[in-house]
Structure 1
């Protein structure tokens, strides 16, 4: 089983090295995804004695909280996506709009 402190240190190095949102997402998957060392260590708790399981479980929960805090602290620093305000579409006017151009009626 991996040491919880090592898992937090690995996550901190990954978060510090991420320069794009995609890299940060990859770090999140690597350190807390389904096949991460953290999840594997939590699965291994079932095979431990009750006393050891309690202590290891608390340490892993603290490590997970620290990792989540590292990742969450970094995400808001990314710029938010631009707001696209393209309504109404270019050239479109409401039929009741006073700015509507007159229509030509041909006879």
Structure 2
């Protein structure tokens, strides 16, 4: 499941946040930007919540959007059965905040309140 969102301030910039299962207990996270050399700043939080526990990691940085796609984040992560994994992206194009993107993988555990789907 990939989402390409058009930046409101710069119609030439697109962000792609991809979160998908590669095996029953492993996920791949990929963040890419397409454009024409615009400066991008991003903050991404990846969380896993389930019966085996909770985990949260944060990645932040800067990138230049390219026509072929600049992908500053490409990670794989393991997770236990009955775990929900989510990725939340905040990003800015040339200093202007863009719409946030969120992706979720897995099922919401009944004993893990407060998760967004």
TM-score (ref. length: structure 2)? 0.26
Greater helix content: 1
Higher strand share: 2
